[in-house]
């Protein structure tokens, strides 16, 4: 693998909040670009070889620790303080605006895709139908999206109802929502790393958790899914042995989706972290993502040729 240069930066949002960001740069001029969204109790430094693998194939990766997570919220009092869906989308608007401007400044003008994992996957799909800048993005990829929890993890409906009501009164009340490390991957080393990672603190807030659950639930409602732009490509990738998020919920969403270019990729026996399941499978997953991004990029570039010749 070619040596991939990385750059760590700090994003200062309009409200003054600072986010940690990291970019994986391509060895040559970028062909495509990704804005990446991590999941719950996660951070952008936990994606193993996925980002370097994509960068070696000409795909620039821009990832950041979302508000309330990772290096963007190191103090315990800030853990999980994501705000509600409107706040999360507003943060994303600012970041996408900057990345679109970056793309325009590049000689190759690489198209910008939104890609996310787990809760970040559901946020990616939510942005695809409701984000202010969704029309300017080239496509959307979600792997192991948190549309619903796996059947074994689903909380009691009464607990959910009480939680939603409480989130209106105490939105920033913090709650520990422990994920079983053994459920994230079939690789024991990955499970151990996750369990010991201090940036994966499993702490959410009532408002943040309620928003996350609501975003997922809406992806199973035709009223919202019909708002997707049919011209925008979408891919959903999910392991059918995922013990964290519900594989069948992803299938239900996909059945509702009316995009002209949509693809569902099933991984037999794989767990939640598709990018960090068994070591021998990781190249397969990164290749699947890269191939999808590069094929859509090629389609976009070919469509631009007649306009360029006028």
Q: Are 148 and 246 in contact (CB under 8 A)?
A: yes
Q: Phi and psi of 267, rounded to 5°? A: -115, 115
Whose structure tokens read 């996957």? 121
Strand (E) or helix (H) holding 204: strand 203-205
> Given 33, 41, 72, 118, which residue is catalytic?
118
Reading the block at residue 191, the tokens are 């499970």
Distance from C-alpha of 59 to C-alpha of 62, rounded to nearest angstrom: 10
Q: Is 268 a catalytic residue?
A: no
Whose structure tokens read 């929890």? 149
Total residue count of the chain as it appears in this document: 310
Task: Tell me the C-alpha to C-alpha distance, in Å, between residue 39 and each of 36, 124, 230.
Answer: 10, 11, 26
Strands 234-239 and 262-267: parallel
**CA dihedral of 198, 246, 119, 132, whole degrees rounded to 10:** 180
Q: Is 118 a catalytic residue?
A: yes
> Given 53, 87, 91, 242, which residue is catalytic?
242
Reading the block at residue 20, the tokens are 């940690």
Handedness of CA 154, 156, 157, 161 (dihedral sign): negative
Angle at 265 between CA 123 and CA 277, to 5 degrees: 80
Distance from C-alpha of 257 to C-alpha of 254, rounded to nearest angstrom: 5
> Given 38, 117, 238, 272, which residue is catalytic?
272
Handedness of CA 244, 247, 248, 254 (dihedral sign): positive
Whose structure tokens read 């009316």? 258
Whose structure tokens read 């670009």? 33
Q: Is 242 a catalytic residue?
A: yes
Helix axes 119-130, 206-218, angle to 10 degrees: 60
Residues noted as catalytic:
118, 242, 272
């Amino acid at each position: 693998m070619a040596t991939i240069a990385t750059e760590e930066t700090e994003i200062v949002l309009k409200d003054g909040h600072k986010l940690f960001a990291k970019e994986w740069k391509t060895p040559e001029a970028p062909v495509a670009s990704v804005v990446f969204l991590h999941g719950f109790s996660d951070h952008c430094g936990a994606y193993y070889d996925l980002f370097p693998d994509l960068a070696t194939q000409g795909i620039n990766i821009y990832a950041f620790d979302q508000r309330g997570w990772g290096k963007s919220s190191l103090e315990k009092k800030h853990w999980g303080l994501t705000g509600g869906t409107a706040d999360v989308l507003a943060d994303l608007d600012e970041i996408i605006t900057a990345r679109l401007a970056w793309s325009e400044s590049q000689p190759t003008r690489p198209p910008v895709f939104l890609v996310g994992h787990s809760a970040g996957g559901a946020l990616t799909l939510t942005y695809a139908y409701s984000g202010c800048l969704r029309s300017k993005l080239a496509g959307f990829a979600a792997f192991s999206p948190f549309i619903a929890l796996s059947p074994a993890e689903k909380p009691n409906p009464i607990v959910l109802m009480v939680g939603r009501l409480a989130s209106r009164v105490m939105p920033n009340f913090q709650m520990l929502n422990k994920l079983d490390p053994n459920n994230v991957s079939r690789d024991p080393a990955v499970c151990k790393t996750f369990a010991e990672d201090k940036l994966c603190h499993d702490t959410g807030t009532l408002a943040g958790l309620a928003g996350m659950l609501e975003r997922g639930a809406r992806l199973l409602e035709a009223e919202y899914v019909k708002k997707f732009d049919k011209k925008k490509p979408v891919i959903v990738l999910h392991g059918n042995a995922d013990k964290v998020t519900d594989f069948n919920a992803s299938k239900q969403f996909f059945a509702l989706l009316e995009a002209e270019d949509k693809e569902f990729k099933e991984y037999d026996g794989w767990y939640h972290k598709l990018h960090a399941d068994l070591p021998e499978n990781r190249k397969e997953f990164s290749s699947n993502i890269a191939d999808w991004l590069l094929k859509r990029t090629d389609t976009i570039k070919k469509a631009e040729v007649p306009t360029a010749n006028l």
